[in-house]
Amino acid sequence: MGDFSNQEKDLVSQELDKLIKIRTDFYNYLDANIPKNKDQFDFSNHPKLDAKEVYQHFYKLDYQARKLRGLLVNAYGLKAE
């Protein structure tokens, strides 16, 4: 496995921070639009979500995860599937 340079470590750290922020934004959207029963989302009321907004949040999360995955695959010399 390859070793990370300081520059690569900084880049991975920055991308992880972005991933966490995007994930937090997604959960904030869900929290604002889906009622909760204690600490779990309560779908029994069948809340209507804007499909386009849900997709936009998911796309950002997925894109960032794939970007980070690429950095880690390259850094560790892993086989990408």
68 contacts 16 by C-beta, under 8 angstroms: yes
User: Residue 81: pLDDT above 60?
Assistant: yes
58 contacts 25 by C-beta, under 8 angstroms: no
d(CA 28, CA 36): 12
Beta bridge partners of 41: 36
Query: For residue 2, what pLDDT is reported?
Result: 56
pLDDT for 13-69, tens place per residue?
A: 899 999 999 999 999 999 999 988 888 988 887 778 899 999 999 999 999 999 998
Domain ranges of the chain: 6-42+50-76
* 81 vs 39, higher pLDDT: 39
This prediction's pTM: 0.78
